[in-house]
Amino acid sequence: MNMTGLSVGQVALAALMNITYAFAIGSTLLERWLAFEGQFARLAWQRARASLVAASFALVLSDVLWLLYQSASMSGLSLVRAIPEIPIVLGQTQVGHAWCVAFGGAILMLATALASRGGRAGQAVFWLAALVVALGKASIGHAADAGPWSIAVAVQALHVLSTGLWGGVVLAGGLSVLPTLDTSTTRGVLIRIAGRVSYVAALALVVVVATGLFNAQRGLGGSLAPLSGSGWGHVLTLKGALVLLAVLLGALNRTLALPRLRRTASTTDAHTFNNVLHLEALVMIGIFIVAAVLAHMAPGSMPSH
């Protein structure tokens, strides 16, 4: 990947798209769970709802800006001069078609976030929108080289969705919602929500690892040589290291901090769980940034020019 202003901007916006997509998914789950926790969880529910709306809006905005950068990159023009090229990119390129799918899903996510009050119908529409976004994002990347209806695209879409689920409950929980439950009167709510966050993250992680291994094998082309012999391989190794760190932090909370918090319900143990989750959320942001870099690089199995 040639480091130019346009490429840096594209990667930054792609990372923002990853983060906001995940944040919206995590926030909607937390909003749903907290809706059944009564008045003590009111502040946390409001924080989850606000995070959902803000993340959905930021996803739509970052999608629009990414399209502008992509149009400039494809046309070789400046950002301002590339604006008239946007209809051409949308109408005549595979990237433009895939972007329309992802953007349509993002708009639907935002509309649902603004209109819904956590009912089943609203939840169903939101998850449909999240799936559409995942399919669009999968069709923009290297998976689409195998065809728009290929197994590679389906696996990548599942990877995007499961990563958004795993990262989302960690990001929204650790950075936004769970800190508002860090009082003695909300300790029971914190314990229940923390257990759900840990459970969902663990389930999603299984799918993330399985689909990630499939994508890595495809990118490596059946050989481990690109891991050490290409920039793509180096970035993939960094991503793997960050994922491992996040897994270790999650395991620390799940096997040590959370069981102790359930036994004692103490302020110290509540702080420990929240602090570890906060650190895991920061690592998750790093994972999404590295994933954006990786998506803008040619897979290691491709010959370098």
Q: What is the pLDDT of residues 219-248, one digit of tens each?
A: 776 667 777 777 888 898 999 999 999 999
Question: Can you give the pLDDT at residue 55?
Answer: 97
Neighbour tally for 2: CB within 10 Å: 5
Question: Can you give the pLDDT at residue 302?
Answer: 58
Question: Can you give the pLDDT at residue 72?
Answer: 92
Q: Determine the Cα–Cα distance for residues 99 and 74; give it in Å rounded to an integer.
A: 14
Question: Can you give the pLDDT at residue 177?
Answer: 95
Question: Can you give the pLDDT at residue 249?
Answer: 97
Q: What is the pLDDT of residues 38-92, one digit of tens each?
A: 888 999 999 999 999 999 999 999 999 999 999 998 888 889 999 999 999 999 9
Burial class (CB within 10 angstroms; exposed 0-12, middle 13-18, buried 19+) of 85: middle
Give the percent of the chain with pLDDT over 70.
93
Average pLDDT, integer, range 183-205? 94
Helix (H, G, I), strand (E, B) or coil at 80: coil
The closest alpha carbon to 66, from 50, 82, 54, 55, belongs to 82
User: What's the pLDDT band for 3 if we cut at 50, 70, 90?
Assistant: low
Instruction: Please state which of the ranges 33-37, 117-121, 171-175, 192-196 shows the lowest mean pLDDT.
Output: 117-121
The whole model's pTM is what?
0.93
| Inter-residue long-range contacts of 243-251, CB under 8 Å, 24+ positions, other chains counted | 243/208, 243/209, 243/212, 243/287, 245/283, 246/170, 246/280, 246/283, 246/284, 246/287, 247/205, 249/276, 249/277, 249/279, 249/280, 249/283, 250/170, 250/198, 250/201, 250/202, 250/205, 250/280
Concatenated DSSP letters of 182-236? -SGGGHHHHHHHHHHHHHHHHHHHHHHHHHHHHHHHHHHTT-SHHHHHSHHHHHH
User: What's the pLDDT band for 170 if we cut at 50, 70, 90?
Assistant: very high
Q: Distance of alpha carbon 168 from its chain centroid, rounded?
A: 6
- Mean of per-residue pLDDT scores for the chain: 90
Question: Can you give the pLDDT at residue 304?
Answer: 47
Question: Can you give the pLDDT at residue 305?
Answer: 41
